Structure 1
Amino acid sequence: MSQAADRAAGRAAMGRERFDVIVIGGGHAGCEAAAAAARVGAAALLITQKRETIGAMSCNPAIGGLAKGTLVREVDALDGLMGRIADGAGIQFRVLNRSKGPAVRGPRAQQDRALYRAAMQAALDAQPNLTIREGTGAVLGDGESIPAPRVVLTTGTFLRGLIHIGERQIPAGRVGDAPATGLALTLERLGFRLGRLKTGTPPRLDGRTIDWAALEAQEGDEPPEPFSFLTAAITRAQVPCHITATGPEGHDLIRRNLARSPIYSGAIESRGPRYCPSIEDKVVRFADRSSHQIFLEPEGLTDHTVYPNGISTALPEDVQRALVATIPGLERAAVLRPGYASSTTTWTRAS
């Protein structure tokens, strides 16, 4: 009898459900961790707040990029899911830095959010040895305790998460989803050192209100280059992105309202990632520049939502709308959802 069969028989004999590995969080990392554990024969349990948001792309609707594209291919080489699913849900593929050496090239694929989420959920549902439950920890909200010798936390922005939009603060892991507060308190009680990490996202725009004719189109590569070594060719229809930029009027608007941004008002006491600066940071740090490039990225083949990559912001909603209106091609663009900064808990072992 195999080790996996031995474990299954032991669980059955005990008369209660037991798992070898529990993964908490159904984002990119959690999906890969749960699937990897199940692939090697472990009885794995994936716990997530909402089953329907497993595989949801909370921020940028793209996979890969500089350095990150290499990581996706490494995950694929270990039989991970992301590369294969991105190849099936991708709607524009580009290799960044193609004119430079192979060591610095970065494969990147714009994704259809709905297709990616559905494909990830289908892959996990089809994975033997994997169970999915809704909850927020190994002790669930209803008090049920689920034992396991190993627990993997992949909580992303949810761990005692806080959303900042101007002067407003909203406890949330992302828009519409509650934070994992109890889990953060448990880590603190166990002696872990907690800190804070800041990231952000731009406002979402209604593509039907954008002046596309005034903008430069950016086509994908032809032929598109897959992520996965198992993908023979990309067969899905590809779409263009478009390019625009901020200007002096928008920069002046940002400077006049810096005190209303939680990034500069002192409302956020956390460190931000160097690779994802807000538009406020760009205007302050690079004061000599009169413009910053923006890539208008579609979020799906049947979705009118557009992601303006390059203007991540936590400014108040009225300032965000005014800023968008200063950008060429976006003068009459409708803001579907404001951008925000997300401050979340991180942890390390106590020294």
Structure 2
Amino acid sequence: MIMVLMFNRHRTRIVAAMSALTLALGLASCSDSSDDSKGGSSGKLKVAASFYPIQWLTQQIGGDHVDVSSVTPAGTEPHEFEIGTKQIAELNKTKALFYVKGFQPSLDDAVGSLSDVSAVDLTKNVNLVHHEGLLEHDHGDKDHGDKKDGEAKKDDGEKGHEDGKEHDHAEGRGDDAADPHFWLDPARMKRAADAIAAELSKKDPGHADAYKKNNEALQKKLDGLDKSFQTGLATCERRSIVTTHTAFGYLADRYKLSQVGLSGIDPESEPSPATLAKVKKYVQENGTTTIFTEELVSGKPAETLAKETKTVTAVLSPLESKPEKGDYEAAMTGNLTALKKALACK
């Protein structure tokens, strides 16, 4: 009797231990499954965006279901940003990276070292084109600013990559490369948003309906922004802008403006004396009243030009970093206000 009792007690302990082990393994399995599908123990899909405008798009679509980090720290000029090993390690903890190939060479190089991270190059969806915007080649005002030229470029931007030739330019870094600044065109931002929504739904199908709904709301928001620019810039006394660097080609094309830059698509390149002289002449001959500066780039060349031509300076944001106040939409609205004032729009 005693032996039977001892055996039963021993058997009970074994059963209890096995039950506890089974429960622990089940919880661990659930936890691992959650981490794998959501990208983290918080239950949110963990993704990264190369810099602010892409982060904003992803946040708008992901909402409460996605944890979005920006590879480029706030206040950092993204063109010259150099990614470090620590940041690469953090990227490897994410499920997806949304980036603009050709814009940040350091990040382009890092993409090849990522494991189990879907790197989504948004340039494949927005059709990058080449913009000049400099006066190095003695182009007159007509070459840069007539409506036909602006409309032609806009049409190019609406086409797909049937031959792939335009997109190939994105591999470069100089002014012969395709212009990467598509985020200043709300229509192209809509296409990038579609690509982001599709990838989020693929990584997290359980919230696909939410991503679809959020993207639909975002599309309407971008449509509204586009309409504001179309209306606000429809009737202006002037239609050319002088900028620190030629970041505004897509914006200019869409709204039938022209841009003349002190520097090319890379703001770190110093304007040559010849360029400065030609821009000065352009300003004087075309009745320009405003020289536009930026938040993250030295304004000295623009300020010097403004002083010599008796014009004023104003900020036109290329939105390459998170605004100090507000978000992408607010900053774009601020750009519209600045443009309307500088161009004397009715």
TM-score calculated relative to the size of structure 1: 0.29
Q: Which has the larger radius of gyration?
A: 2
Query: Greater relative contact order (Cα 8 A, min sep 6): structure 1 or 2?
Result: 1
**Higher percent of residues as helix:** 2
**Higher percent of residues as strand:** 1
